Amino acid sequence: MLAFACAFTMFAGAASYSDKADIKATTAVDMLSSLGVIQGYEDGSFKPNTTVTRAQMAKMIFTIMNGGNDNANAYASLPTKFTDLPTAAWAQGYVRYLQNTGIIAGKSVTKFAPNDTVTGLEAAKMVLVAAGYNAQKAGLTGATWAQNTMKYGQLNNLFEDVDADLNAALPRQYAAQILYNALDMKRVVWSNDINDFKNATDVSGEETIGEKYMDLYKTTAAQLTSVKKTSGKDTYEIKLASKVTYKNTLKSASFTKVPADVSDLLGLNVKVLVRVKTNGDQDVYGVYADDDSKVIATGTVGQLEAVSGDNKKTKLDGTEYKLEDAKKTVKVVVANTANTDTLANLEQATAIDQVAGTVKLVDTNGNNKVDTVVVTPAAVGQITYAGSKSLTISNKVGSKDIDDLDIYEGYAKDDWTVVTADTYTASGDTAVAKVDVTSAKVTSVKGNPVNEVKVNDTWYKVATNGASNVADDTASIKSGSTYDFAIVGNYIVNAKETEASSNDVLVVTDFESAKNGMQSSTTQKVKAYFLDGSSKTIEVEKLALTPGADAEDVTAKNCFADDNKSVNHLFTYSTRSNGTYTLKALGSGNMAGYETVSSDKEITAKNKIGKYSINDNAVVFALYNTVSGKINIKKDVKVLSGKTVNDWSTKYGSTVYYATKKSNGIETVSVAVVVAKDKYNGAGSDYKYAYMTSNSYEGTNGEDNDKTTVYEAWTGSENVTLKYDGGNGTPKSAGNILIYTDDGADFINVEAAKDTKTMRVAITGIQKVKEGDVAVKFNGGSDTYSMDKDCVYIAVNDDKQEGMEGSSLDQISLAEETTTAGQYYANAWIVLEKNDDGTYGDILAIIYDADNNRLKGNKIF
């Protein structure tokens, strides 16, 4: 007999107790709660580990024997010899009824002990007697009662899933478990003919306690093919492959009022527990798998493979499984439909709208061979629009109302998802599950085009696009590159080069001449600028001048040269073990996480490159002033922010190379190289500024003690020690303004800054409109200047020649007026941007005395 306790998967009116997380016997508690046999407490809890009294156990057995009715008032006056019932007056009717029907006995002739806790064995004894076991005939009284109760209880599976000491006080949840097990227990009667107990069905035709007292009937078994939620209700409708029989004569192939989703049983042979009421109404209380029906394995469609040379086996996720018969005869059930498919067809699926479907290998006859395959189709799609009321998913899913989706929390645009259409879901809603994205490096690839990829010692297949409209981001997967992979089962459904890869990008601005008689593999030195604004000379050993090509040894033909126009282009880079570099041209086949890599003629007056706006956080390399005798080499390079470039008001450049990224649905330029004849007015605003706290001096660097010029300065936020590569750096004294740019990771360039002008001034007025206007007096005149959008503020104590905390316009005070009218003490240095016509524009930096509002020396203007 199948253990009733193990088999059921759901029940009507499942209780939602506040402490449900503490309940282990959830199925039993839910079942008996829905039948009205047990109840929770007024505070909404069940208290699963609170022990049960003998009176409470009597009430539960009474309720079962009376079809769920727990009103025992009619029996409260039945005769009894128990004298202690007044101590539990509420239980009078239950105890008297069970005593008069011979179900229970007391601890003595006159004592029932209603408030004592009941043990597991005592509860089991009551159930056994209720099922027809005569206490005397079965030995349930006397010295061996416990031993015999254990014997008959185990025979009838009463202790299945009871995780409690049967000789100790019985917790509420395990009292429910014993009673739950009892519902499937066969009733018995004593037979003098065989001197033993026999099935009561021989007498009454009613087999189990559930049938006898609760009108609960089990059907014969049939395959479950469909589970769908009833429109407008919280119940479900199920369909079976054939009609089943219950209560001897009733037959049906479908049931309504199923109280929970049992989709996990699709494809299995199931039995249904039906409560048939006297008025003909029916309620389903459980759906459970037949003894011989079980799931052998589950996975995704993409994990299915044919076993070479064996038509009676299949492979799922690398494991082989035997088939009941030849592959073509294995039944394939498509969830919730009358559709069919073949196992061979599923084994061959590679398309992105196939491989994410789920499959279940089922054995329905108990011989451990697959005779049924259940498939739930699903497609992979990317969220292209995400709103509060609707979203749009690619791969022909289209636009959907959020209310019609069963979707994960936190869904967002650009998420990759597995979408199961409403046809195949029990809820009737389209199910959307997120595909986790993993960043990893590809170590090997197979096929041309690539159809298998090795990641972290695991081989994955690459999904094909089929007839879908999913973007083909998997087409350019290359060994050695790092990608964000969306993986379903054993299939890569999307691969995009990582954001980390996009950081490994540089621009080559100059190179060592290749005309040195190179005949074999060698290296080439080039000047490279990086996205952090630094630059240095690097040695290139492997090079790909064409986007998507493999990097090959540098040779006289495969190298940078002015006439091949590769200079000033963007490259991805990696550092080799010997310190040399591998460079690959950025572009198709080597996108490095960018959306678009292209070129145009200029940055427009509307601050666009082509059709794309420039992101404020973009890195823009401005190259200008052609080297004499060269075509493409520029003498000057400025590394600017997109924010700076977006302040420009006129078009600029003769050629622009750029790459874009997409965020929140908007694609903008993330990095650009703009090549021009002359410097753009405004490019100087990319300088960095500091205040010298000591005189510059000569130092050394590295193991070879190379000479450097050292500058100790205050940046407005920290004291720094900056180095120029060489002992001939521009000398600076304490109190001077240092204007510089980064030159590599550890060095700076000290700029002559001919495109700026540094002045000692007295600030006489500040108007905070937009970035602000500042009125100043200086040697020989006065003027008002606007502040650059990126104006730098540095607070200092000029007398002590040290930095001070603070770096804002609000902290700057107006200069102190002397005793002579119209005369002011100098209180700040300002750095002005020089215009092409020789005039001066915006203030790029203000270095102000925040101590006594006077620069050292008490200069007066």
Q: Tell whether the model's pLDDT for residue 479 goes beyond 90.
A: no
At 160 the pLDDT is 93
At 516 the pLDDT is 47
Q: Tell whether the model's pLDDT for residue 517 goes beyond 80.
A: no
- Give the CA distances from residue 801 to residues 332, 695, 709, 845, 855, in Å, rounded to whole numbers and listed in that order: 84, 10, 20, 18, 10
Q: Tell whether the model's pLDDT for residue 686 goes beyond 80.
A: no
What pairs with residue 322 in β-bridges? 313
pLDDT, tens digit, 9 for 90 and up, residues 607-630: 899 999 999 889 999 998 888 877
Q: Which of 211, 260, 217, 215 is nearest to 237 (CA)?
A: 260
If pLDDT is split at 50, 70 and 90, which confidence band does 564 have? low
pLDDT, tens digit, 9 for 90 and up, residues 317-331: 999 999 999 988 899
Strands (E), 150-293: 188-191, 196-199, 216-218, 222-229, 236-246, 250-258, 269-276, 282-289
Instruction: Give residue 27's Cα distance to chain centre.
Output: 31
At 858 the pLDDT is 87
pLDDT, tens digit, 9 for 90 and up, residues 773-816: 888 899 878 888 888 878 899 999 999 999 998 878 888 889 88
Q: Which of 56, 16, 299 is nearest to 175 (CA)?
A: 56
At 647 the pLDDT is 79
Instruction: Give residue 497's Cα distance to chain centre.
Output: 18
Pair 383, 662: CB distance under 8 Å: no
Alpha helices in 386-510 (DSSP H): 499-503
Return the minimum-mean-pLDDT range out of 45-59, 122-136, 327-341, 467-481: 467-481
Residue 179, helix vs strand vs coil: helix
Return the minimum-mean-pLDDT range out of 366-375, 514-523, 554-563, 710-719: 514-523
Question: Mean pLDDT over all residues of the chain?
Answer: 87
Q: Tell whether the model's pLDDT for residue 676 goes beyond 60.
A: yes
At 7 the pLDDT is 36
> Using alpha carbons only, how large is the chain's radius of gyration in Å?
42
Q: What is d(CA 501, CA 592) in angstroms, rounded to the nearest whole number?
A: 5
Return the minimum-mean-pLDDT range out of 40-49, 120-129, 584-593, 677-686: 677-686
Q: Tell whether the model's pLDDT for residue 523 goes beyond 50.
A: yes
Q: Tell whether the model's pLDDT for residue 729 goes beyond 60.
A: yes
If pLDDT is split at 50, 70 and 90, which confidence band does 718 have? very high
- What is the rounded average pLDDT of the residues 354-370? 94
At 696 the pLDDT is 94
If pLDDT is split at 50, 70 and 90, which confidence band does 636 have? confident
Q: Which residues contact 173 (CB under 8 A, 6 or more apart)?
A: 23, 24, 25, 28, 29, 46, 48, 49
At 1 the pLDDT is 23
Q: Which amino acid is at 745?
A: A
Q: Which of 49-53, 575-579, 648-652, 697-701 has the highest mean pLDDT?
A: 49-53
The count of other CB atoms within 10 Å of the CB of residue 856 is 15
At 3 the pLDDT is 31
pLDDT, tens digit, 9 for 90 and up, residues 40-90: 898 999 999 999 999 999 999 999 999 889 999 999 999 999 999 988 899
User: What pTM does this model have?
Assistant: 0.61
pLDDT, tens digit, 9 for 90 and up, residues 837-855: 778 888 999 999 999 999 9
If pLDDT is split at 50, 70 and 90, which confidence band does 713 have? very high
pLDDT > 90 fraction of the chain, expressed in percent and rounded = 53
Q: What is d(CA 132, CA 504) in angstroms, rounded to the nearest whole number?
A: 81
- What is the rounded average pLDDT of the residues 474-480? 76
Return the minimum-mean-pLDDT range out of 134-143, 647-656, 740-749: 740-749
Q: Tell whether the model's pLDDT for residue 285 goes beyond 80.
A: yes
Q: Which amino acid is at 741?
A: T
At 335 the pLDDT is 94
Output the DSSP codes for 435-458: PPEEEEEEEEEETTTT-EEEETTE
At 11 the pLDDT is 41
Q: Tell whether the model's pLDDT for residue 478 goes beyond 70.
A: yes
Q: Tell whether the model's pLDDT for residue 745 goes beyond 60.
A: no
Q: Tell whether the model's pLDDT for residue 251 goes beyond 60.
A: yes
